[in-house]
Amino acid sequence: MTPLAKLLEAALFASGTPVSAAELRAMARHATDGEETLESALDSLRDHYETDGHGVELVEIAGGWQILTRPEFTEAIERAQLASRPQRLSAAALETLAIIAYRQPIGRAEIEEIRGVGAGAILKSLHERGLVDVVARGEGIGRPLLYGTTPAFLEQFALRHLEELPRADELAIALRAPRPATLTGSLVRENGEPPARAD
Amino acid sequence: MDDVKFAAGGEAAASEVFVVELAEFSGPLDLLLSLIRDEQIDIYDIPIARIAEQFLARISTLKLDEAAEYLEMAARLVRIKAQLLLPRRDGEDLWDDPRAELVRRLLEYQQVREVVDHLEKLSEARRRRFARAFQPTTPAAPATGPLSLSLPELLAGVDRVLRLARKPHIHDIVPRALDVDGAIGTVRALLALRARAQWTDVLPVNPEPWEVLSLLLALLELAKLGELRLEQRRAFASFEITRDPASEAA
């Protein structure tokens, strides 16, 4: 491993949460002569874990990097009570998150319109878990709160960024036969870019 | 509607099962989609009458407060059914299918379900990997919603904070100068009269701590200068001050 790769390994080991590229780059600038790029050092670290057969691996998450254990050891670690899997989200919570992820910024009324049920309690719980946040106020009566996803959302689903979610043409809906032209209703917006943050 | 009542009544024994089962649906659209899937119905040509009946049968055992959203959907289905029964003029091309809006919503909801499946897979994969500093997902970080305060409330809050800040528990340490020179003068004057004195003789009545310290430093200073000797017979006893014979000779 290169010197910078070793430093990155130490830094990522020390941090429990993903470390952003900007943070790693700032650290690398202070610590090395600057000849080695961050990207090549990260590649070097990843190769190190891949080729030598390690119990951990380098994972890119939420715009940063993190060292995580390999999935094949989950059960053994849990049996030893060294760590345990976090709780699953309910179907209702996942539906709400899916809608927010694709339609953000989106208000509560629109979420309820799509799901056909009230969303207040679920929004509150998602907000408390830090998975969604109020990102704007809408137009119209009462200037409704508009919600968007947070970096914690990306972390929870191990997404690098929102664009990693499937695009419109990647959703394999069995009943999507383009029959009547009037039926253009689509979760994904017309341009096919799922997570348009700004309209 | 008679057959609906019959279906619901005939299943009285199974009503508990229905309630439990309904809890598994995340909403009326979920239930509707599941009916359509079970019946293998073309979503673009839903036999509304049949679906509406089945839908009502499924929700009829629910308590009303739980079922408001399901009842709204049931009402919608019945209305669509009625609209479909209205006679149409032959050859009318521009006929708005009353089912169109429902179909649009079902398709949209199905996309949501597909994304949910995807998210579930991602979440499952992530749950199987542990970060080094494993922490159980912190439950309910205190929600910090946007503040909604009137101006007087805000000012009152600021006032409270300022009042708290004004009485901090800080102990002021006031530097109090010791009067070592004054104490030296006192000791010298006493020793000019007497060759021997007790610690208590030079101490003023009801001494302040700074006076005790000044005297102690003065005695040590004079002992260093060779003007007197200090003698303590045992621990914690008062000590004796003796004029130094050498300085006397000088």
My answer on whether A69 and A9 are in the same domain is yes
Given a cut of 80, whether residue B246 has pLDDT beyond it is: no
Residue among A83, A117, A156 minimizing CB distance to B123: A156
A7 & A70 share domain: yes
A154 assigned to some structural domain: yes
Predicted-complex ipTM score: 0.78
Least confident window among B145-149, B192-196, B246-250: B246-250
- A97 and A63 in one domain? no
Question: Is residue B108 within 8 Å of residue A189, measured between CB atoms?
Answer: no
User: Considering A59, A79, A99, which residue would you say is the last residue of a domain?
Assistant: A79
Q: Name the residue range of residue A39's domain.
A: 3-79
User: In whole angstroms, what is the distance from residue B239 CA to residue B250 CA?
Assistant: 25
> Which residues 87-116 of chain B have a CB within 8 Å of chain A?
97, 100, 103-105, 107-116
The whole-number pLDDT of residue B121 equals 93
**How many domains, in total, are found in chain A?**
2
Which range has the worst mean pLDDT, A134-138, B67-71, B184-188? B67-71
CB B218 within 8 A of CB B184: yes
Q: Are strands A106-107 and A145-149 parallel, antiparallel or unpaired?
A: antiparallel
The CATH superfamily holding the domain B180-249 is: Structural maintenance of chromosome 1. Chain E (1.10.10.580)
Q: How is chain B split into domains, by residue range? A: 2-85+98-126, 180-249
CB contact under 8 A, A71 and B125: yes
Rounded to a whole number, what is the distance in angstroms from the first to the last CA of chain A? 45
Query: What residues in B contact A90, CB-CB < 8 Å?
Result: 26
Q: How confident is the model at residue A111, as a pLDDT? A: 92
Q: Note whether A59 and A96 are same-domain residues.
A: no
Cα separation, B149 vs B157, in Å, equals 10
**A197 lies in some domain:** no
| Assigned domain for A117 exists | yes
- Cβ of A95 and B116 within 8 Å? yes
**Nearest-by-CA chain B residue for A16:** B133
Residue A5 CA: distances (Å) to CA of A13, A32, A69: 12, 11, 18
Q: How confident is the model at residue B144 (pLDDT cuts 50, 70, 90)?
A: low
Separation in Å, CA of A136 to nearest CA in chain B: 11
Alpha carbon separation from B236 to B202, B231, B233 (Å, rounded): 17, 12, 9
Residues A18 and A73 in one domain: yes
To the nearest whole Å, the CA of A58 is away from the closest chain B CA by: 11
Side chain identity, residue B2 = D
Chain position carrying tokens 């990693």: A164
User: Is B131 in contact with A68 (Cβ distance < 8 A)?
Assistant: yes
Report whether pLDDT(B227) > 50.
Answer: yes
Same domain for A124 and A74: no
List the CATH number of the domain containing A46: 1.10.10.10
CA atoms within 13 Å, Cβ hemisphere of A1: 20
pLDDT less than 70: residues of chain A: 33-34, 168-169, 172-199
Of A16, A67, A91, the CB nearest to B116: A91
Do the beta carbons of residue B72 and residue B57 sit within 8 Å? no
pLDDT per residue as tens digits for the range B13-49: 434 334 444 567 788 888 888 888 888 888 888 888 8
B60 pLDDT exceeds 50?
yes
Same domain, A121 and A162: yes
CA B108 distance to own-chain centroid = 36
DSSP chain A: --HHHHHHHHHHHH-SS-EEHHHHHHHHHHHS-S-S-HHHHHHHHHHHHHHHT-SEEEEEETTEEEEEE-GGGHHHHHHTTS--PPPPPPHHHHHHHHHHHHH-SEEHHHHHHHHSS--HHHHHHHHHTTSEEEEEE-SSTT--EEEEE-HHHHHHTT-SSGGGSPPGGG---TT-----TT----SS-TTS-S-----
pLDDT at A2: 84
